[in-house]
Amino acid sequence: MAVLGVAGFTLEVPDMDAGLAFYRAAGLVADVSEDRATLVCPGGETPCVTLIRSSSRMRLHHVTLRADALDEMAVRVPAHGGKVVEAPAGFGADGLWVSDPHGVLFHLVELAPEPAPPAGPSFAINAPGAIVRVRQSAMAPSGNYPPARPRKLGHVALFTPDVLASVDFVTDAFGMALADRAQDVVAFCCARRSSDHHVLAFAKSPGTGLHHASFQVADPDEVGRAGQALANAAGRGHWGFGRHTIGSNFFHYIQDPWGSWFEYYSDMDYIDDHALWQPTVYGMEDAMANWGPPVPADFVHNYQVEAAQ
Ligand SMILES: [Fe+2]
């Protein structure tokens, strides 16, 4: 009947080694073949990132979404401005391949979600009037922590020339739902049932492309620690530690080798039934963050448009 979540995304990249180094530093585990690499979260089986060697530039090849009732979706897609297309060269014909009204390619697959990871220790905070942690340090010496361990790909944010049209398409054709938006500049879409606040987001740009992909970690501490480590390893831009208004998640964004962003997140709002959720249209003052460091000047710059010219 609808999209249930995001499974992965595939990039064409001009420098496979740079891509592998970045995503491995982020905590993903790679399986490399001649012309492509697939990366999973530690302990996971479904590739959440696929890199294809390209002779030209970095470009979003497609986004893979978990869905059910693909036959119904194949009827709705052309009725709402999209096209059902053949599988691209090098990819299987399983599932449903869809080109959206802006030419963005989606692969919809009937795929069980990765099993939920076992719950870790709760993030216990001593608050005024509520002491929950006694005779116990919250923090270990900084060298005692293991490397970042992304638990799952939570959402993908895409550039689009028309945010509201993209929302309409995934709502009408994919059976998703609008969670919240800020004017017509950014919008956040969820599955209708049992979903993170957003699994697909859209940001306004002159063209299409990948804005960021976001991976869940255990808690706000791991967001900060992992974000700082990856920012140091990647050596390009970063933005964080901070907290979004829309979705409520703690975040740290690190720029990938081609100018798009990788996000670690924790503590996102959860929508168990969209019929019981009231979407909010926020002002632009809440489009980016509730609090955090200054936003990098190129945070919403679409390098994929620039590279295509
Ligand atoms: Fe995000």
Ligand 1 centroid, distance to 201 Cα (angstroms): 8
pLDDT digits (tens, 9 = 90+) for 183-242: 999 999 999 999 999 999 999 999 999 999 999 999 999 999 999 999 999 999 999 999
Distance (Å) from CA 202 to ligand 1 centroid: 10
**Pairing, β 238-243 against β 250-255:** antiparallel
pLDDT band at 34, cuts 50/70/90? Answer: confident
**Amino acid 114: pLDDT:** 84
> Confidence class of residue 123 from pLDDT cuts 50, 70 and 90?
very high
Q: What is this structure's pTM?
A: 0.97
Taking only the tens place, the pLDDT of each residue in 93-108 is 999 999 999 999 999 9
Instruction: State in Å: Cα 203 to ligand 1 middle.
Output: 11
Tens of pLDDT along 265-292? Answer: 999 999 999 999 999 999 999 999 999 9
Ordered by start, the domain boundaries in the chain are 3-113+150-308
Q: How many residues does the chain have?
A: 309
Q: Cα of 135 to ligand 1 centre, how many Å?
A: 36
- Expressed in angstroms and rounded, the spacing between residue 5 Cα and the centre of ligand 1 is 14
User: Percentage of residues in the chain with pLDDT exceeding 90?
Assistant: 93
SS3 45: coil
How far does the centroid of ligand 1 lie from the alpha carbon of residue 212, in Å?
7
**CB of 154 closer than 8 Å to CB of 265:** yes
For residue 238, report the distance from its CA to the centre of ligand 1, in Å.
13
For residue 31, what pLDDT is reported?
A: 97
| Class at the top of the CATH hierarchy for domain 3-113+150-308 | alpha beta
Kindly give the distance from the C-alpha atom of residue 75 to the centroid of ligand 1, in angstroms, as a whole number. 30
Distance 133 CA to ligand 1 centre (A): 31
Distance, C-alpha 242 to centroid of its chain: 17
Cβ(221)–Cβ(264) below 8 Å = no
pLDDT at residue 112, as a whole number = 86
Flag whether pLDDT at 84 surpasses 70: yes
Kindly report the number of other CB atoms within 10 A of residue 150's CB atom.
Answer: 27
| 3-state SS, residue 267 | coil
Cα 8 to averaged position of ligand 1 atoms, centre (Å): 14
